[in-house]
Amino acid sequence: MKKFIGALALSIAAFGSSFAQAATLIVDDVTFGTSSVLRDTTNNQDFLRLDLTMGYGYSGISSEFGVGGDFEGWSVASTMIMDALGVSAGVINGSTDVGQIGIAESLRDFFCPASTCVNLSSTHEYARGLVSDSTAVAGTVDAFSIGRRFNVDPNEVDFRISGYGGLNAINEEVWLTRTALTPVPLPAAGWLLIAGLAGMGVVGRRKKV
């Protein structure tokens, strides 16, 4: 069993030109290795690559959240959290914008690198994992997908709930999230702005009434 030591931002890289403009970064993790975590800097939320959850299933992963577990410190993402990631990354389900489709495909390929867990149907190519919501039948949870719908012209962003999976099935990946353990550093320009405001007496001073 892997010992979860805790997340460290050992290095941070821009995730392509599209992601350089969006509020997401790829972060290394001391337990899961290089480029294993996507950080939503807007909401200070981390997301683990889907391929690292393969073979566990929803119930199996849930049993590993405790101290010493393989996924200590993580939890299953909700649809709301996934939707917030979409807002930060700049993608909207059903959009035909080429840039948005490119971001959705980049997200898909990050979460399922080298086609480790990419799903290909007659209509979509997507990364798919279970979330904590359950709106289907007893004993199941919803599944959320990210990718591209290609059976329409123009193609569309696929970023949505796309069915459901069984709690005990081990052939389903799971979206895992946590609060980012290290603060996202403010860009140098931001620090300069704050320093300038402080020098002007704007920062930290309450307006007199």
Residue 207 forms part of a structural domain? no
The backbone torsions φ and ψ at residue 37, rounded to the nearest 5 degrees and listed phi first, read: -130, 135
Residue 5 forms part of a structural domain? no
pLDDT reading at 22 higher than 70: no
pLDDT band at 183 (very low <50, low <70, confident <90, very high): low
CA distances from 189 to 88, 96, 114, 185 (A): 21, 34, 36, 11
DSSP bridge pairs for 174: 130
Q: For the segment 76-89, what is each residue's pLDDT rounded down to a tens digit?
A: 999 999 999 999 99
Q: pTM for the complete prediction?
A: 0.78
**In which domain, by residue range, is 84 found?**
12-199
End-to-end CA distance of the chain: 60
pLDDT band at 185 (very low <50, low <70, confident <90, very high): low
Residue 123 forms part of a structural domain? yes
pLDDT at 64: 98
Q: For the segment 128-161, what is each residue's pLDDT rounded down to a tens digit?
A: 999 999 998 899 999 999 999 999 999 999 999 9
pLDDT reading at 200 higher than 80: no
Residue 50 forms part of a structural domain? yes
Q: For the segment 25-44, what is each residue's pLDDT rounded down to a tens digit?
A: 999 999 999 999 999 999 99
Contact 191, 185 (CB under 8 A): no
Domains in the chain, number: 1
pLDDT reading at 52 higher than 90: yes
